[in-house]
């Protein structure tokens, strides 16, 4: 039985209890239904389920009880009618886009996006006859100017990967509605506990659940949230036929991770705020990109669009690319790895790692320089992290 008071709960409570239905044997934790297929009582029942005349599970690619609980919980957290769990963050991005785009269509996206999202838009979708224009989403006039008669979608991340630029979601939603477009936002860096794009008029929200939602670096997964009509098409046409569905075991691990999301995010944000202030005052760093800093372009959105600035910091080390690489290699506590949202603090070099699919020209246009570094601030003692940076600068 599902608690009917869920709509009144705080997000921290929803992350633990939201979407949970009492299981037949009274298990406190959600059971892991590690099965490929489900048994029918009769041939007639199987036919009725395939026809959509009777509720129930058929085959895990089409739905699974463990996965369904994760989807219910994420829909509640994002304030959506429904959600779909996918096999990766990129499966979430591609599924969301393919739900709305066909051959001959066009989308407008922000100049800076995750490297594989950039490659999907500029290479893979092009093969399907779908074109893209990448513009500066801080300028809604530029966004409107890029809209064509065949434009169907506006897409952005905010804060942006990797340099944390922040976009006005209400303005984006208004432009989308004025032109009858679908607006899609990647909310990975914020999670629904820090930002809820649907509440600002955005149509569809994406997460790489690999990151903060899971929080333990042991899952690859994605989430898409939206209205019932969009999600039904995404689940039962795009995911069903392309097959990018999540494993029930991965869904189970994310459900476990979500129980600590609120307390983890608090520590991530606390540590990042201290570390960003330290980096910003240090003479060996030319620029620090973090919305929690008063001089950052996105600082004005904190307290309205964003509750806090998150746990990711980007910065430019004075010097060239090799100086940046040497600094990374001298670090001892920070782990050199891509991804974010784990307990461990991670550092990576976007130009040669996460954003390597960009051409050099497109990378510079997106503001991704050769000496830019990105940190995912973990849960360690922040003074230990500062000490590690100090020794690496010697």
Mean pLDDT of 218-238: 97
Segment 195-212 shows an average pLDDT of 98
| Catalytic option among 82, 186, 250, 388 | 186
In the block, tokens 């330290």 appear at 278
Task: Write phi, then psi, for 273 (nearest 5 degrees).
Answer: -65, -45
Residue 7 pLDDT greater than 80, yes or no: no
Structure tokens at 215: 């929080």
In the predicted model, what is the mean pLDDT of residues 5-17? Answer: 86
Residue 4 banded pLDDT, cuts 50, 70, 90: low
Residue 1: pLDDT above 80? no
Residue 55 backbone class (left: φ over 0; alpha: ψ -120 to 50; beta: rest): beta
When pLDDT is cut at 50, 70 and 90, the band that residue 25 belongs to is confident
Question: Quick one: what percent of the chain has pLDDT higher than 90?
Answer: 90
User: Could you tell me the pLDDT band of residue 2, with boundaries at 50, 70 and 90?
Assistant: low
Which residue is catalytic, options 49, 73, 82, 114? 114
Active site residue 61: yes
Whether the Cβ atoms of residue 321 and residue 371 lie closer than 8 Å to each other: yes
Which residue, chain included where needed, has tokens 């309205």?
304
What confidence score (pLDDT) does residue 26 get?
87
Q: Is the peptide bond before 193 cis (omega within 30 degrees of 0)?
A: no
Q: Give the model's pLDDT for residue 77.
A: 97
CA angle 324, 325, 329 (to 5 degrees): 120
Local structure of residue 322 (DSSP, 8 states): H
Averaged pLDDT, 172-180: 98
Q: What is the rounded average pLDDT of the residues 293-300? A: 97
What average pLDDT score do residues 86-96 get?
Answer: 98
Distance CA 328, CA 283 (A): 17
What gap in Å lies between CA 65 and CA 203, rounded to an integer?
A: 26
Mean pLDDT computed over 259-267:
98
Q: Which domains are delineated in the chain? A: 261-393 (3.90.1150.10)
Which residue of the set 111, 152, 211, 363 is catalytic? Answer: 211
Q: Is 8 labeled as catalytic in the residue annotation?
A: no
User: What would the pLDDT profile of 27-48 be if each residue is shown by its tens digit?
Assistant: 999 999 999 999 999 999 999 9
Active site residue 290: no
How far is the CA of 338 from the CAs of 66, 210, 220, 223, 264, in angstroms? 28, 11, 13, 19, 19
209-222: burial string, b at 16+ Cβ within 10 Å, e else: bbbbbbbebebbbb
Summary mean pLDDT of the chain: 95
Considering the candidates 61, 240, 267, 330, report the single residue annotated as catalytic.
61
pTM of structure = 0.94
CA 84 from centre of chain: 13
SS (H, E, C) the chain: CCCCCHHHCCHHHHHHHCCCCCCCCCCCCCCCCCCCECCCCCHHHHHHHHCCCCCCCCEHHHCCHHHHHHHHHHHHHHCCCEEEEECCHHHHHHHHHHHHCCCCCEEEEECCCCHHHHHHHHHHHHHCCCEEEEECCCCHHHHHHHCCCCEEEEEEECCCCCCCCCCCHHHHHHHHHHCCCEEEEECCCCHHHHCCHHHHCCCEEEEECCCCCCCCCCCCCEEEEECHHHHHHHHHHHHHHHCCECCHHHHHHHHHHHCCHHHHHHHHHHHHHHHHHHHHHCCCEEEEECCCCCCCCCHHHECCCECCCCCEEEEEECCCHHHHHHHHHHCCCCEECCCCCCCCCEEECCCCCCCCCCCHHHHHHCCCCCCEEEEECCCCCHHHHHHHHHHHHC
């Amino acid at each position: 039985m599902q608690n009917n008071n869920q709509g009144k709960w705080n997000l921290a409570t929803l992350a633990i209890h939201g979407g949970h239905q009492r299981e037949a044997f009274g298990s406190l934790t959600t059971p892991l239904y590690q099965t490929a297929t489900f048994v029918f009582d009769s041939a007639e029942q199987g036919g009725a389920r395939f026809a959509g005349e009777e509720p129930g599970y058929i085959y895990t690619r089409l739905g699974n009880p463990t996965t369904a609980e994760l989807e219910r919980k994420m829909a509640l957290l994002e304030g959506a009618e429904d959600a779909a769990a996918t096999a990766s963050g990129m499966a979430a991005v591609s599924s969301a886009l393919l739900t709305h785009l066909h051959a001959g269509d066009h989308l407008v996206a922000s100049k800076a996006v995750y490297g594989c999202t950039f490659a999907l838009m500029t290479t893979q979708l092009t093969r399907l006859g779908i074109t893209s224009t990448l513009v500066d989403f801080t300028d809604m006039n530029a966004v409107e100017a890029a809209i064509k008669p065949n434009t169907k979608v506006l897409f952005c991340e905010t804060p942006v990967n990797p340099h944390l630029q922040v976009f006005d979601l209400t303005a984006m939603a208004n432009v989308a509605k004025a032109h009858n477009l679908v607006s899609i936002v990647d909310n990975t860096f914020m999670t629904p506990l820090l930002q809820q794009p649907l509440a600002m008029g955005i149509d569809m929200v994406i997460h790489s659940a690999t990151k903060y939602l899971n929080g333990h670096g042991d899952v690859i997964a994605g989430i898409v949230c939206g209205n019932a009509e969009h999600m039904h098409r995404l689940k039962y046409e795009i995911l069903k036929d392309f097959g990018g569905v999540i494993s029930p075991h991965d869904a189970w691990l994310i459900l476990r991770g979500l129980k600590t999301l609120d307390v983890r995010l608090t520590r991530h944000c606390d540590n990042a705020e201290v570390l960003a202030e330290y980096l910003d005052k240090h003479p060996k760093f030319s620029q620090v990109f973090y919305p929690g800093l008063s001089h950052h372009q996105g600082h004005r959105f904190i307290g309205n669009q964003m509750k806090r600035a998150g746990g990711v910091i980007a910065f430019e080390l004075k010097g060239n690319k090799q100086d940046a690489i040497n600094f990374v290699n001298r670090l001892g506590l920070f782990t050199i790895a891509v991804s974010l949202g784990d307990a461990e603090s991670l550092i990576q070099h976007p130009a040669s790692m996460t954003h390597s699919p960009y051409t050099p020209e497109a990378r510079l246009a997106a503001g991704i320089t050769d000496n830019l570094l990105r940190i995912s601030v973990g849960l360690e003692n922040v003074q230990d992290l500062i000490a590690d940076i100090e020794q690496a600068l010697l």
